[in-house]
Amino acid sequence: QVQLVESGGGLVQAGGSLRLSCLASGRTFRNYAMGWFRQAPGKDREFVAGITWTGGATVYADSVKGRFAISRDNNKNTAYLQMNSLKPEDTAGYYCAARLSSSVWRISTELNDYDTWGQGTQVTVSS
C-alpha cells in the first residue's frame, strides 16, 4: 500500500487561501486515484474533491466547486488541494485518500472506495 502524509493546514481568515499537500510513499503513486475528504466536529466525513491517476479528470463537491482545485504531480508523488475564498464552514480536518485505479475518467466520491488514508491536517477558518 501507499502511505500518505498531509500538510499545509492552519488558521486562516474568511476569504483567505490555503494549499494542502499529500505526499505519498511506498507504492507507485501513479497507480492511484486520489481524493480529499473532510470531517468537521460532530459530522460525518465527506467528499471534497477527487482526481484520476493521470490528473486528466477531476470532480468536486458542490459546496467547494469554483473555490477549491485538486491537482497532482506524479513526479513528486504529491497531490494538492488549493483552497480559495475560504469560509468558516470549511473548518474541518482534511484527509487525503488513495484508491488503486487505472481509470482515466471515473472518480469515486465514496469514502469506502478508498484504500489508504492519511492522518489528516486541520483547517480552521475564522470569521
pLDDT of 55-106, one tens digit each?
999 999 999 999 999 999 999 999 999 999 999 999 999 999 999 988 888 9
Task: Give me the mean pLDDT over the 41-63 stretch.
Answer: 97
Q: Is the pLDDT of residue 27 over 80?
A: no
* pLDDT value of position 15: 98
Q: DSSP letters along 23-78, please?
A: EEESS-GGGEEEEEEEE-TTS--EEEEEE-TTS--EEE-TTTTTTEEEEEETTTTE
Assign 109 a pLDDT band (cuts: 50, 70, 90): very high
Q: What is the phi/psi pair of residue 89, to 5°? A: -70, -5
- Identify which of 7, 11, 4, 9 has the alpha carbon closest to the alpha carbon of residue 124: 11
Residue 27 in contact with residue 17, Cβ under 8 Å? no
* pLDDT value of position 52: 97
121 is written with which cell numbers?
A: 491536517
Distances, alpha carbon 103 to alpha carbons 10, 32, 100, in Å: 33, 9, 9
